[in-house]
Amino acid sequence: MPLEVLAIAAHPDDAEITCGGTLIKLAARGRRVGVLDLTAGEMGTRGSAEERLREAAAAAQVMGLAVRENLGLKDSALDLTTANKLAIAAVIRRHRPRMVILPLKDQQRHPDHRAAAILGYEACFLAGLAKADLEGEPFRPHKIIYASSFIETGHSFMVDISDHWECKHQAVAAYRSQFDGAPQSREIFRPGNDIFEFMEIYQRKYGIEVGCRYAEAFWMAEPMLVDDPSLLPVRSI
């Protein structure tokens, strides 16, 4: 069965942190949701590749994912090569997701996050080329959106994750090698910050902006089509 949503991330735990609440929400609604991690995060100071793969599997169970795969590309060396693009495109053809979620490449501290955004977009394009060196039928996702939580940019929309906040917290907490509360764990996602406090502050902020308790932020390149603007949910006054 095809996936309805596929999040593509550079490392295990990236998807959980940036858009995990949305993935959990969609899975809880019966959508087939998957995550493709491009690397095992083996270059990280804390945790081995084996540990992080086990943690990713545990997080996938918490989130209710239908699919979680790891391409095993080189951490901190996500080169913009044709081989890497085709490897991702092969996964897209196999799972045929209607929507792909990518990291937003702007303002990213880790080069792999920028590379994952570019590789993911170009792989979505390549997957639709009939003459591409790929198995399976040509396919392109209908929609690409970008997880823009924690990035100071003009977000296109927010998703209310209030009912799934605790589950998101549990999914991130599955990465014990990274976020066990030790002082060193404050140097991983944004240096000097506890990841759970960081998520709490930002996603409460997004929630306040749109009138809910917790929200995740997204950006998309295309204008949004609205059928009836009088039904838009966020109040102006």
pLDDT tens-digit map of 167-193: 999 999 999 998 876 666 556 566 667
Backbone CA torsion sign across 192, 197, 203, 205: negative
Alpha carbons 51 and 101: distance in angstroms, whole number: 25
Q: List the pLDDT tens digit at each of the 237 positions of the chain.
A: 999 999 999 999 999 999 999 999 999 999 999 999 999 988 877 878 899 999 999 999 999 999 999 999 999 999 999 999 999 999 999 999 999 999 999 878 889 999 999 999 999 999 999 999 999 999 999 999 999 999 999 999 999 999 999 999 999 999 999 887 666 655 656 666 789 999 999 999 999 999 999 999 999 999 999 999 999 999 898
DSSP state for residue 177 in the 8-state scheme: T
pLDDT tens-digit map of 105-124: 987 888 999 999 999 999 99
CA dihedral 181→185→190→196, nearest 10 degrees, is -20
- Sorted by where each begins, the domain ranges of the chain are 5-220
Fold (CATH) for 5-220:
Rossmann fold (3.40.50)
Cα Rg for the chain, rounded, in angstroms?
A: 17
